[in-house]
Chain A
């Protein structure tokens, strides 16, 4: 016989309990995210772009590489809603196809840089003996002047990869790799800081004291808790990857000439700016809107995941 309350569910309080919706962390995050108008707009625009790029080529079936030479340099019309370029290729088809490539590069490169960054950050934060060397490595990468080295690496390995994997896959792998290994540093630093703080928390201590192996501590306890800065890094990384790929294509060092990406379209179109401005405006707008919407989403996500701001 104890004085502790029994768990009999009777009385008005428990009825109220049963009626209130179950609240979880992600529900709160979503609620906060919803209040950030820019983030919502960004998410909507991004979803729209993804939809257009994914489904568009099935609706608008013109081949982006077909040269309809007789109808070159046309203004927008029914057959070619975005006009044609100087060799007769349909611009809308090119923008859609280019979008697929640019977004694929963006997501994959972002994934790679997150992987490397989280790996290094967690290892550096968790294992003290790895911290020094890994952080020096990070400093080294931060100190390298990236753009010249990027340009040279691409020139060096473009043809080797092309021979091994074929022209398109080869350059895709190269650009993803190159962007991925040059943008992990920020993520690593942030993750390391968080892991250092988390390591001292009681629940980690508790897990250790019951004999959890280090790998499980990392995967079950540490990683889920560094998720929020990682997610913010992810959105920024996506934006950065898309811009870097466009910049590389704009300097002529990206994908081969018969392979449209948004940056490449801008590069090809810049000489025709006064003749057919739509060649520059549509890919430029596409890049800008994508990156803008991703940045807004990242902003909203950061506010939503910050417990000090959430619910204010």
Chain B
């Protein structure tokens, strides 16, 4: 008896010692997440916005993610292919991904290269209405070399071949599940779109569109002991301020996303001690586009086209004065707090692309701005507004409806009033401003005002597509149904030449140099006035650990590592 007792004890001791301190999968119970824009679909290829892409990233995974510093980390791939390790061909026309072995879908079936090929075909289908189709530009073919190897061949040399399947906007979906959902049938597969089978740490158990999604942990997830949470309640709806309140003051939720509220509100809420605000900076810049054509409605069909230059914004002195008169730090303090930084570049990040040549804009200089305008011949009239040759400096300033943006508008109106420029403020509902409605005169492409303000950014870490926005052929006009990205109608052959050079350069340092040059060109000319480098702001409970706020990919990219910190 003694021996059996000893045996039992040794066995127990051995068991305790043998298993490392691996917590049980799902030991931490339920995680509550609140996104104040509710998810409306779980298929990121048909998504209605960032919230759908982020919520589905709990279930679906790509071949590689961008981590919080912007570097690529493999997810379903075994490693990142590069020219050095032979994964990318020397002529830059193909890339070969090796997949991790032993990965299974949450329904138990094996994950193979056939699923990767299928995902590519799904998104490239012409009738599918796939959101991420630009990630697949120039793809000639995607073929499965064997069960665990995929080769993507491009029609041209791609210095940056990581468009397909890198990042949560282009994950791998299961061929068996989505097989009958190709092309025009894609939106009709409601069951699949609401409950995709994935390889990620969670799976969808219940989906109520525009309301709430319930997830359970994926029992077949490839990493042992992860995820730490057994299920997730992902609620949507409301507004940013009440989302912040629910994490920071009432503690009802563990994580809230995109808290676009005034900083003093957040500071006051953080004082309750229940939560922490986290910020991360990506490539988002809130900027002012300066119109170089005449938006006067008297010009009829020719308004806003290059046929008629702008009456006063073609004067370089006016453009520079507008930028000099702005105290950007006040704009940051009033609307963004820790979630914003003053920036003088339209290309602020990653760090290698950030130019320092334009830092004169960081200090407000009212006297200098006034002098510039005086020297250029703009004389103040009796109403305080400057004029020259009968042209008054009166701006129509438009942006989308958003309380922080309206605050920025009010502040800028006052600042420009000090240098003798009159401003009329206009705000347009976001669904109209950012929509592509051909019949509406208020879209940001038509730009029928003197200046407009909004935020833009680019996916991933490579700025080539982004910088191409300001080439001459991207000017929106009636000829191309106003579908262009060059809102200020900036056109410079030297800039276009740099863009061509960028598309054929492979070395990272050279690319950085070119991109900086292009940025500096835009800043010198004054076609764009950058205001604030915006970061993402989210909040999580103090008891939630492992959060690595990420602006380069989904914020939930590492949810498998999140765990509950128990108060010791």
**A interface residues (Cβ-Cβ under 8 A, vs B):** 65-67, 69, 72-73, 86-87, 155, 159, 162-163, 167, 252, 256-258, 268, 270-272, 274-275
A-B contact pairs, 23 of them (CB 8 A): A66-B414, A69-B330, A69-B334, A72-B334, A73-B264, A86-B264, A87-B334, A155-B432, A159-B441, A167-B424, A167-B426, A256-B425, A257-B401, A257-B406, A257-B410, A258-B409, A258-B413, A271-B239, A271-B261, A271-B403, A272-B262, A272-B264, A272-B265
A73–B268 CA distance with the chains assembled, in angstroms? 12
When distances are taken between beta carbons in the complex, the residues of chain A under 8 Å from B442 are 159
In-complex Cβ contact of A87 among B261, B407, B426, B428 (8 A): B407
In-complex Cβ contact of A86 among B262, B401, B432, B441 (8 A): B262
- B residues 236-293 near A (Cβ < 8 Å) are 239, 241, 261-262, 264-265, 268
When distances are taken between beta carbons in the complex, the residues of chain B under 8 Å from A268 are 403
When distances are taken between beta carbons in the complex, the residues of chain B under 8 Å from A67 are 410-411, 414
Min C-beta distance of B531 to chain A, whole Å: 16
When distances are taken between beta carbons in the complex, the residues of chain B under 8 Å from A66 are 414
| Contact B265 A275, beta carbon cutoff 8 Å | yes
When distances are taken between beta carbons in the complex, the residues of chain A under 8 Å from B265 are 271-272, 275
Pick the 7 closest A-B CB pairs, nearest first: A257-B406, A271-B241, A67-B414, A87-B407, A275-B268, A258-B425, A86-B262
| Contact B424 A274, beta carbon cutoff 8 Å | no
**A252-B401 in contact given A86-B334, A159-B428 (Cβ < 8 Å):** yes
What is the chain A residue whose CB lies nearest that of B396?
A167
**A87-B411 in contact given A69-B330, A258-B406, A274-B268 (Cβ < 8 Å):** yes
A7–B252 CA distance with the chains assembled, in angstroms? 89
When distances are taken between beta carbons in the complex, the residues of chain B under 8 Å from A159 are 428, 441-442
A276–B44 CA distance with the chains assembled, in angstroms? 41
What is the chain B residue whose CB lies nearest that of A67?
B414
Does B135 belong to the interface (CB within 8 Å)? no
Besides A69-B411, A271-B239, 4 other A-B contacts (C-beta < 8 A): A155-B429, A163-B297, A258-B413, A271-B262
- B residues 151-172 near A (Cβ < 8 Å) are none
Min C-beta distance of B445 to chain A, whole Å: 16
When distances are taken between beta carbons in the complex, the residues of chain A under 8 Å from B407 are 86-87
* Chain A proximity mask over B321-340: 1 for CB below 8 Å, otherwise 0: 00000000010001000000
When distances are taken between beta carbons in the complex, the residues of chain B under 8 Å from A72 are 334
Min C-beta distance of A109 to chain B, whole Å: 23
Does B149 belong to the interface (CB within 8 Å)? no
Does B82 belong to the interface (CB within 8 Å)? no
Min C-beta distance of B384 to chain A, whole Å: 14
A257–B517 CA distance with the chains assembled, in angstroms? 38
Interface of A is mostly: loop
When distances are taken between beta carbons in the complex, the residues of chain B under 8 Å from A162 are 426
Does B457 belong to the interface (CB within 8 Å)? no
A66–B413 CA distance with the chains assembled, in angstroms? 10
A271–B330 CA distance with the chains assembled, in angstroms? 20
When distances are taken between beta carbons in the complex, the residues of chain A under 8 Å from B409 are 257-258
A139–B428 CA distance with the chains assembled, in angstroms? 34
When distances are taken between beta carbons in the complex, the residues of chain A under 8 Å from B413 are 258
Min C-beta distance of B260 to chain A, whole Å: 11
| Contact A275 B264, beta carbon cutoff 8 Å | yes
A268–B401 CA distance with the chains assembled, in angstroms? 12
Does B427 belong to the interface (CB within 8 Å)? yes
A86–B410 CA distance with the chains assembled, in angstroms? 12
In-complex Cβ contact of A257 among B241, B297, B427 (8 A): B427
What is the chain A residue whose CB lies nearest that of B268?
A275
A120–B297 CA distance with the chains assembled, in angstroms? 39
Min C-beta distance of B322 to chain A, whole Å: 18
A121–B392 CA distance with the chains assembled, in angstroms? 52
When distances are taken between beta carbons in the complex, the residues of chain B under 8 Å from A271 are 239, 241, 261-262, 265, 403
* Chain A proximity mask over B377-419: 1 for CB below 8 Å, otherwise 0: 0000000000000000000000001010011011101100000
When distances are taken between beta carbons in the complex, the residues of chain B under 8 Å from A65 are 410
Min C-beta distance of A165 to chain B, whole Å: 13
| Contact A87 B410, beta carbon cutoff 8 Å | yes
A125–B500 CA distance with the chains assembled, in angstroms? 77
A80–B427 CA distance with the chains assembled, in angstroms? 29
Min C-beta distance of B521 to chain A, whole Å: 33
When distances are taken between beta carbons in the complex, the residues of chain B under 8 Å from A270 are 241
Min C-beta distance of A64 to chain B, whole Å: 12
- B residues 413-464 near A (Cβ < 8 Å) are 413-414, 424-429, 432, 441-442
